[in-house]
A = this chain, B = another copy of it.
Amino acid sequence: MPRLRHPAVNEKPGYQLMKVALGEAEADLAIVNGNILNVYTGEVLTADTVLVKGNRIAYVGKNAQQSISTNTEVIDAEGKTLIPGLIDGHTHANFVYSVSEMMKYALKGGTTAVITEAIDFAVNLGYQGVIEFLRSLKNQPMKVFIAVPPMVTISPVVREHSLTRHELRKLLKRKEVIGLGECYWGPTIEGDPQLLDYITEARMSGKKIDGHTTGARDNKLQGYASLGISSCHEPTTVDEVLERLRLGMFVLIREGETRRELEAVAGIKDENIDFRQLGVSTDGVGPWQITTDGYMEFVVQKAIDLGFNPVQAIQMATINIAQHFGLDDFIGGIAPGKCADIVIIPNLTTIQAECVISNGRVVARDGQLLVQPRKHNYPRSTQNAVRLPKSLTADDFAVRIDSQRRKVKVRVIDQVSDLITREAIIELPVSNGLVLPDADSDILKVAAIERTYLPGKTFVGFIRGLRFKRGAMATTAVWDTSDIIVAGTNEADMAQAVNRIGELNGGIVICAGGKILAEMALPISGMLSLQPVEAISQQLHHIQQVAETLGCPWPDIRLTLCVLTTGAIPFLRMCEEGLFDLRQNSLVPLIVD
């Protein structure tokens, strides 16, 4: 083969791509005869060849023959369609199951890159948790980009232990970091100084700031957007999508674990508008969902089935996301110089990965994974998740008042759907200064027990709607605070569930009548199991079944307890300091009168 004029170039691996394109070097991989979706123009170009060298695409077209040698792996894609590797624009990887388990299903379905939040490791492990997360992403067969957590939390002690500006700045400089993670709009437009400092820092870095604008509109939404917050994955109606697109925001339609909104907002496809600022995301995909439905291939297929133009649907999961996050020089399309992340599907309306190429390697064929993601070796420092000073007893869950009254009005968390809560002001009986639950009326006790910074600090309140007839359930896998959440019909089972969590060093436990009925360990930061995701899915299924036998009506009780601590979902939440009203953005008293 001819050589380039300057010998220096032949030594530099970065220029091998160019040599392959010029017909001066051998391709490692050639995908021939395929129909290629060009996401840049929206065309499908027929019978072209893609040449790959190392992890990149060198050439796409009809004059490829000169770079195909006997050393080149050739894939015949005749009659098939090539699309870029799919991208999840917003998720929570590394929550309950590990990223390497996520990658197994992501890759075989054709998802080759995700953009994820990183708060789950940061709440209890701080900056080192984010660094450990980044380490777990190295030398993997797919790409994971992270957003630095802005640490929006209702817990004062977690807030105190937020990332410093210096730490934030260091993280924002890393190539794997796309910017700042979801800044819930409530505290932001209240003018929370710490949050505004984070936002300023992110803006100065030139990177993106992810938004979170559930229910915000007009002036409040625009006040929020005026800070440079440039995306949102929360709209639940066509009008909400439109309003955000018109503000120049990038909108990610969510179809995942906590919510599925594709169907509700699919009407956007009929608007005669530019769709470049529209993407899709899961916002987290549960163990059951990923093992059963799959990952982004499911989301894109659903969009197509709902009537989205297939080209647009695929753009929404590839180039649109890549362009928004400034990653389009590397991912999002099939073109020279881009990473060789390619999915071969039967045709544009059937998003079924027959062959997946990630970073230039064939990683899956016909749903079989050919390359195993690396299991990360988590250091001991990540495994000291539950630091309770002593075993708990039933007494630790007493709610005392300083009064001789027989009844008291209490602010109760009212579980009105599996995720949304309101407040109910309910009169509860008092006996010897102890406020009592009312299991017959479905008023149970619920507690938040700090486990990291103020270990053992406990708030006990009341909740309606869990409908447990007996027993208790506890979990360390909660959003945005460092609490164990436990709820139950009696204090003894609540104490036992928490104590068992202590023995497991993090996890989910159901007890009843002094017996442990179901459990799952989450030894990494109390958030993560290192088990295979299939096993995790089974354990969670078992936990759910047991909860249902105890009377629980909610489809995923783990998630229902998990979000009791978050500032993201309306509106009465709790942490170790007490109840938190998101409408007022402040702690509110348990006892009302």
* CA A326 to CA B322, docked complex, whole Å: 12
Mark interface residues in A468-502 (1 if CB within 8 Å of B CB, else 0).
00000000000000000000000000000000000
Q: Is the CB of B274 within 8 A of A18?
A: no
Number of A interface residues in the complex (CB < 8 A): 73
Q: Is the CB of B326 within 8 A of A206?
A: yes
Q: Is the CB of A6 within 8 A of B193?
A: yes
Q: Is the CB of A191 within 8 A of B5?
A: yes
* CA A227 to CA B16, docked complex, whole Å: 10
Residues of the B chain whose Cβ atoms lie less than 8 Å from the Cβ of A18: 189, 191, 223-224, 226-227
Cβ-defined partner of A329 (8 Å) among B4, B220, B230, B333 = B230
Q: 9 pairs across A/B with beta carbons < 8 Å?
A: A8-B191, A9-B196, A21-B219, A21-B220, A40-B276, A58-B226, A59-B226, A61-B222, A248-B338
Q: Is the CB of B224 within 8 A of A274?
A: no
Residues of the B chain whose Cβ atoms lie less than 8 Å from the Cβ of A190: 4-6
Residues of the B chain whose Cβ atoms lie less than 8 Å from the Cβ of A336: 222-223, 225-226, 247
A239 within 8 A of B: no
Closest-CB distance, A175 to chain B (whole angstroms): 7
Q: Is the CB of B191 within 8 A of A6?
A: yes
A573 within 8 A of B: no
Closest-CB distance, A43 to chain B (whole angstroms): 6
Q: Is the CB of A63 within 8 A of B219?
A: yes
Residues of the B chain whose Cβ atoms lie less than 8 Å from the Cβ of A242: 41
Cβ-defined partner of A247 (8 Å) among B203, B246, B335 = B335
Q: Is the CB of B22 within 8 A of A189?
A: yes
* CA A326 to CA B480, docked complex, whole Å: 31
Q: Is the CB of A222 within 8 A of B58?
A: yes
A45 within 8 A of B: yes
**A1-30: which have CB < 8 Å to B?**
4-6, 8-9, 12, 14-15, 17-23
Closest-CB distance, A579 to chain B (whole angstroms): 19
* CA A214 to CA B129, docked complex, whole Å: 50
Q: Is the CB of B21 within 8 A of A248?
A: no
Cβ-defined partner of A175 (8 Å) among B21, B193, B206, B333 = B206
Contact A223 to B276, CB < 8 A, known contacts A8-B191, A196-B12, A218-B63: no
Residues of the B chain whose Cβ atoms lie less than 8 Å from the Cβ of A43: 246, 273
Residues of the B chain whose Cβ atoms lie less than 8 Å from the Cβ of A38: 246
* CA A591 to CA B197, docked complex, whole Å: 69
Q: In the A-B complex, list the 6 residue pairs whose CB atoms are closest, starting with the nearest.
A: A9-B191, A21-B223, A4-B191, A248-B335, A226-B336, A41-B273
Look across to chain B and name the residue whose beta carbon is closest to the beta carbon of A56: B226
Residues of the B chain whose Cβ atoms lie less than 8 Å from the Cβ of A193: 6, 8-9
Residues of chain A touching chain B, judged by Cβ–Cβ distance below 8 Å, are 4-6, 8-9, 12, 14-15, 17-23, 38, 40-43, 45, 56-61, 63, 175, 189-193, 196, 200, 203, 206, 208, 218-220, 222-230, 242, 245-248, 271-274, 276-277, 315, 323, 326, 328-329, 333, 335-338, 585
Residues of the B chain whose Cβ atoms lie less than 8 Å from the Cβ of A326: 206, 326
Since A21-B225, A43-B246, A203-B329 are in contact, a sample of 15 more A-B pairs with Cβ atoms closer than 8 Å, ordered by chain A residue number, is A6-B192, A8-B193, A9-B191, A14-B200, A15-B196, A21-B219, A40-B248, A40-B277, A58-B222, A59-B219, A60-B246, A60-B247, A206-B329, A226-B336, A276-B323
Q: Is the CB of B218 within 8 A of A42?
A: no
Residues of the B chain whose Cβ atoms lie less than 8 Å from the Cβ of A333: 248
Q: Is the CB of A220 within 8 A of B40?
A: no
Q: Is the CB of B228 within 8 A of A329?
A: yes
Closest-CB distance, A522 to chain B (whole angstroms): 36
Q: Is the CB of A42 within 8 A of B227?
A: no
Residues of the B chain whose Cβ atoms lie less than 8 Å from the Cβ of A22: 189, 219-220, 223
Residues of the B chain whose Cβ atoms lie less than 8 Å from the Cβ of A15: 191, 196, 227
Residues of the B chain whose Cβ atoms lie less than 8 Å from the Cβ of A208: 329
Q: Is the CB of B223 within 8 A of A274?
A: no
Q: Is the CB of B337 within 8 A of A225?
A: yes
Look across to chain B and name the residue whose beta carbon is closest to the beta carbon of A61: B218
Closest-CB distance, A447 to chain B (whole angstroms): 29
Cβ-defined partner of A245 (8 Å) among B8, B40, B191 = B40
Residues of the B chain whose Cβ atoms lie less than 8 Å from the Cβ of A585: 5
Cβ-defined partner of A223 (8 Å) among B6, B12, B19, B329 = B19
Cβ-defined partner of A337 (8 Å) among B191, B192, B226 = B226
Contact A41 to B274, CB < 8 A, known contacts A18-B227, A21-B226, A196-B12: yes
Residues of the B chain whose Cβ atoms lie less than 8 Å from the Cβ of A223: 17-19, 21-22, 58-59, 336
Residues of the B chain whose Cβ atoms lie less than 8 Å from the Cβ of A228: 329, 337
* CA A22 to CA B4, docked complex, whole Å: 61
Look across to chain B and name the residue whose beta carbon is closest to the beta carbon of A271: B41
Closest-CB distance, A147 to chain B (whole angstroms): 16
Q: Is the CB of A246 within 8 A of B41?
A: yes
* CA A242 to CA B191, docked complex, whole Å: 48
Closest-CB distance, A165 to chain B (whole angstroms): 15
Closest-CB distance, A211 to chain B (whole angstroms): 11
